[in-house]
Amino acid sequence: MLLKACLNGGRPVGSHPALPVAPAQLAEAARGAVAAGAGALHLHPCDSQGRESLEAGVVADVLNAVRAACPGVQVGISSGFWILPDVAAQLAATRAWTVLPDFISVNWHEPHAESLAGTLLGLGVGVEAGLWNVGAARAFLSWPDQDRVLRVLVELPDQSAEAVLPEAAAVLALLDEAGVTLPRLLHGLGRSAWPLVREAGRRGLFTRIGLEDTLTRPDGTLAADNADLVRAAWRVLASPG
């Protein structure tokens, strides 16, 4: 079972007392999350103003800091189209990186998905295919290089468990029907975060947790930090119900 820690996301500075933004903060948060049992790390590099960035220097500073704190742990970053909403600019930024992440999450409903994924694979960077809905799953299944990705992320929005569990089941069923054998990671956001960690435990799937996905423990109380959420996730996974 892989439990990935998602350390910050696109949350504004100050959203949580322990939200890491600067490289040193992300390194410390990563160290704590790994000590708590995270097997991989996902983060959003931010510039000195706290804005998400794909600029080469920003990416290098964050990756170098986190890798120094957590040697041997795979580190991935986001390519969300909102960060740099221009396909050509995204590809140019990616090709300009001097330090490469181990993997990138690529959202298959976004316009840069296939071109970015192909570029990343050419650079030797792992690709996580982010499937937010059935339509994204169908688009991914039509991509000829689907079997080259590192894993599939089934990612559901901030909605009730009653709304997201059927969608998750539908996406997973499509993958089954297509004979996809890639590792699968199931996770949610906000209200769906803990129900989908629990569902991942029931299904034996990889999952993730961290301050990107939720600020609270399963009981609704404010989490202390990313490590606190990782420990809580392992408790849920030990007895998913």
Find residue 216's DSSP bridge partners. Answer: 222
Blockwise average pLDDT, block size 10, the chain, 241 residues: 96 96 98 98 96 97 98 97 94 97 96 96 97 96 97 97 96 97 98 98 98 98 98 97 82
pTM value is 0.96
Q: Where are the domains of the chain?
A: 3-238
Q: What is the CATH architecture assignment of 3-238?
A: Alpha-Beta Barrel (3.20)
- Report pLDDT for 241: 82
What torsion do the CA atoms of 191, 193, 196, 197 make, to the nearest 10 degrees? -140
Q: Rounded CA gap, 53 and 50, in Å? A: 9
Query: Which among 240, 212, 237 has a CA at the least distance from the CA of 226?
Result: 212
Contacts of 99 (CB under 8 A, 6+ apart): 56, 59, 60, 63, 64
